[in-house]
Amino acid sequence: MNISKTIQVVAGALAMSFALAGFANAGEPDLKEPRVKEYIVGAKWSGYVINENETRDMQDDDFQNPGFLWVEQAQDLWTTVEGEAGKSCSSCHGNVDSSMKGKAASYPKVKRGDLITVEHQINYCRTERMKADAWKWEGDEMLGMSALVRRQSRDMPVAVSIDGEAKPYYEKGREFYFQRRGALDLACTHCHIDNPGNKVRSEVLSMGMPNGFPTYRLKWQKLGSLHRRFRGCNKNIRAEPYKQGSPEYTALELYVMWRANGLPVESPSVRK
């Protein structure tokens, strides 16, 4: 092994030891607290469980939940005609409350020969059905429409399938989840399987369940997508992030949504 390679290996090992030393015991989350029981399924629990009461209050009251500012905007966009085809979302789907009920709980899924998320489907409808411009992944319009669509599955269990055509994508997502990466040489599993309930710096780690996205993070002071969270995690461990909507993050979304099967859809949730 040459000197530069040896230095890289030693540096990686040291970074790993320092990173793991940063995990501090925060005490087990109170899984018997009545307010959180709906957010626990077997041995898995939602990030709602480790929220502070003030944050839970914000999520539980639609009038206090800041994410509903985006949802309300999307309700107007649902009936807004755009594009050369002269259509709106409601032109094809009618009332959002009835037509989208339960739909988002099964995404990501394979359609048209590829794995897609709710956001991919929204832009497909815009570009192919409405002949309108695609929305930016992290734009207010996309975040609001994604939250509006997912809201119609609120309190329903996540139910993604990894059978058939979805299986290879699931395997890719699982490989990503367990692969060490970045200067800190960490994988998703080190935080969300090995250390949920513990602290890294001042943040209590969750199980990494994505059933609340898009979520309003107090840290962001706005609604944000799951893929934004993926990018943030990659940056935290000094790894090169992928683009939102990339095949890598889409496969990862399938894997983590499969992990969340059975937990209730919460979007738009509120998180610290």
User: Half-sphere exposure of 181 toward its Cβ, with a 13 Å CA cutoff?
Assistant: 19
pLDDT at 21: 41
- 81-126 pLDDT, tens per residue? 999 999 999 999 999 999 999 999 999 999 999 999 999 999 999 9
Nearest of 10, 12, 13 to residue 239 by alpha carbon: 12
CATH superfamily ID and name for 68-151: Cytochrome c-like domain (1.10.760.10)
Instruction: Please choose, from the candidates 222, 261, 272, the residue with its C-alpha nearest in 3D space to the C-alpha of residue 73.
Output: 222
Q: What is the pLDDT, as a whole number, of residue 29?
A: 72
Whether the CB-CB separation of 252 and 176 falls below 8 Å is answered with: yes
Residue with tokens 């989840």: 177
- Comparing CA positions, the residue from 230, 244, 240, 238 lying closest to residue 188 is 230
Neighbours of 34 (CB within 10 A): 7
pLDDT band at 28 (very low <50, low <70, confident <90, very high): low
Contact of 119 with 137, CB cutoff 8 Å: yes
Residue 10: band (very low, low, confident or very high) from pLDDT cuts 50, 70, 90: very low
Q: Where are the domains of the chain?
A: 14-62+157-271, 68-151
Q: How many CB atoms lie within 10 A of CB 4?
A: 8
Instruction: Compute CA distances 153 → 61, 96, 147, 209, 211, whole Å.
Output: 17, 11, 10, 16, 10
| Structural class in CATH, domain 14-62+157-271 | mainly alpha
Does 17 score more than 50 pLDDT? Answer: no
Per the prediction, the chain carries an average pLDDT of: 91
Of residues 15 and 80, the one with the higher pLDDT is 80
Say what the pTM is: 0.89
CB 101 within 8 A of CB 152: yes
pLDDT at 18 over 50: no
* pLDDT of 125: 98
What is the mean pLDDT of the segment spanning 156-179?
Answer: 98
* Torsion angle defined by CA atoms of residues 122, 124, 125 and 127, in that order, rounded to the nearest 10 degrees: 120
Q: What pLDDT was estimated at residue 12?
A: 44
**Mind listing the pLDDT tens digit for each residue in 189-233?**
999 999 999 988 778 999 999 999 999 999 999 999 999 999 999
* Alpha-helical regions (H) of 47-205: 53-60, 68-78, 89-93, 96-99, 118-124, 140-151, 167-178, 188-192
Q: Which residue has the tokens 């996309």?
A: 142
Q: What residues act catalytically?
A: 233
- What pLDDT sits at residue 202? 79
Percent of the chain's residues with pLDDT above 90: 85
